[in-house]
Structure 1
């Protein structure tokens, strides 16, 4: 596993989220929670940013970007102890990565993470979404995610 990964997703000329992932199915690439969050008045840039983050995480983990792998990387806003609305909140929260069951694990992943976590940074313009994923130390807010059982 690498210490970082990056990815870009072009969205110039696209008009719908399904076009971002074609020929894969939207339902295979994005979790139910991601689809609900992204559909709640978000722009195509938000869908593309989340997809770029998924690609960056897979690059970090050294895994190919298949629908199965993309669907097992969940990128949602970081829950906060100060905001009980979690994923329903429309205020800006930093993105948080959760690796779901069924994602093939590189034998070196656990050792490389060393009790750390995968952090992502997402940015976008009107035509391009870009994300960087890296292994970082655990933060106090990581305990909030675990305490609330994820993003439910």
Structure 2
């Protein structure tokens, strides 16, 4: 695994989420939870940001961006020490990464490797989303949140 991975996704001029991943099926690239989260009144920039984060994680891991690999990287809001509500919170939460499927066995704990965690940062402009993924040491708040699952 390299130290970091970055990616950008252009969405200017697009009108639907499936256009971001065409010719791949939307259901293969985004998990059900991601589709529910992104589809809940979110704009196309949210879909593009999540896709950029998936690509950044795959670059960090040195894996190709196949539909199976993209679908195995789940990017959802994670709870914070101050707020354990993720989907219900209107203030936003940092994105969390969970590896499943073909990548699930690669890193124990879905997003953790040898005591490290995969962290992502996502941002966007009017027509471009970009993300950076990196492997970092576990932080104190990781221990505080182990009992709270961001994925249920």
Q: TM-score, normalised by structure 2?
A: 0.88
Deviation >4 Å, runs of 4+: 104-107
2:25 maps to 1:16:
no
Alpha-carbon contact 1:86-1:151 (below 8 Å) kept: no
The offset of 1:41, in angstroms, is 1.1
Indicate the structure with greater helix content. 1
- SS in structure 2 at match of 1:123: strand
* Corresponding residue number in structure 2 for 1:70: 70
Alpha-carbon contact 1:79-1:87 (below 8 Å) kept: no
Runs (5+) with no aligned partner, structure 2:
none
Query: In structure 2, what is the Cα distance between the partners aligned to 1:132 and 1:126?
Result: 18
* Corresponding residue number in structure 2 for 1:46: 46
* Corresponding residue number in structure 2 for 1:127: 127
Q: TM-score, normalised by structure 1?
A: 0.88
Equivalent residue pairs, number: 148
Deviates more, 1:92-101 or 1:44-53: 92-101
Runs (5+) with no aligned partner, structure 1:
none
The offset of 1:79, in angstroms, is 1.4
* Corresponding residue number in structure 1 for 2:136: 136
* Corresponding residue number in structure 2 for 1:94: 94
Query: In structure 1, what is the Cα distance between the partners aligned to 2:150 and 2:44?
Result: 25
The offset of 1:37, in angstroms, is 0.6
Distance change >3 Å, CA 26–CA 144, structure 1 → 2: farther
